[in-house]
Amino acid sequence: MKAYEVVRQQLERQILTGELSVGSLLPAEREMATEFGVSRAAVREALRAMSAQGLITSHVGAGPNSGTRITAQNGPALGHLLQLHVALSQFPIDDVVEARIMLERYSAKLAADNATPEKLTGLDQLLTKMEAEFMELEEFNELDTQYHIAISQLADNQLITTLTTAVRQALALPIRKASQNLPDYQSFRRDLNKQHRRVFCAIAENDREGAAKLIEEHIRTAYAILPMGGSGD
């Protein structure tokens, strides 16, 4: 085992046992090097790896927020990691799509349970923007990702939101590439928006089963049209 892996595994063990929690300040590099019997270079490499995983953040200076601390910013890191695995075909597209459907069906149900006019305002405004007469693929793909993530946020379940965000972000690039090959993208986009609006209406009416059914139909319909190398936004 490489020296930096010794440090990383020890820190991860301390997180799992509760010795370290969100906000915990890690010792200085010199202290950790002595504690784990490795070089400071090995400590720095371990910390870089954990930072990439979204487990720690580092701030220089002498203020109250300085130093290296355990963090909970796992969403972007998890999404990026899943993106790489999808790109390397570690997870077949069809498998990721099925996972997405499972997550988004549940998100839609919870969103319908929690829906209030105040909570739905942002989603409605996002949809209105997406429904512009014409929009370039890049902009719509980003807004489409935001739309699906916004539904998961309405579900008010942090883990569901994190997982949904990771899966949808992992599929954003394959969706964009496949969309570029469509003969009439704008027509496809308009159809997606009609489906998006129907999902929104079901959520606004607190129709949990209807929202779940519509979001699944939307996802399956999109993947059936997009040439992504699988059985099917």
Kindly indicate the confidence band of residue 4, based on its pLDDT and cuts at 50, 70 and 90.
Answer: very high
Q: Quick check: helix, strand or coil at residue 57? A: strand
Cα–Cα distance, 23 to 126 (Å, whole number)? 34
Given phi > 0 = left and psi -120 to 50 = alpha, else beta, which region is 43? alpha
**In the chain, what are the domains?**
3-70 (1.10.10.10), 75-225 (1.20.120.530)
Q: Quick check: helix, strand or coil at residue 186? A: helix
What six digits make up the tokens of 28? 């200085």
Question: Tens digits of per-residue pLDDT, 114-162?
Answer: 999 999 999 999 999 999 999 999 999 999 999 999 999 999 888 888 8
What six digits make up the tokens of 156? 């008010």
For residues 169 and 79, is the Cβ–Cβ distance under 8 A?
A: yes
Which pTM does this prediction carry?
0.73
Nearest to 65 by CA among 77, 57, 73: 57
Cα–Cα distance, 47 to 31 (Å, whole number)? 14
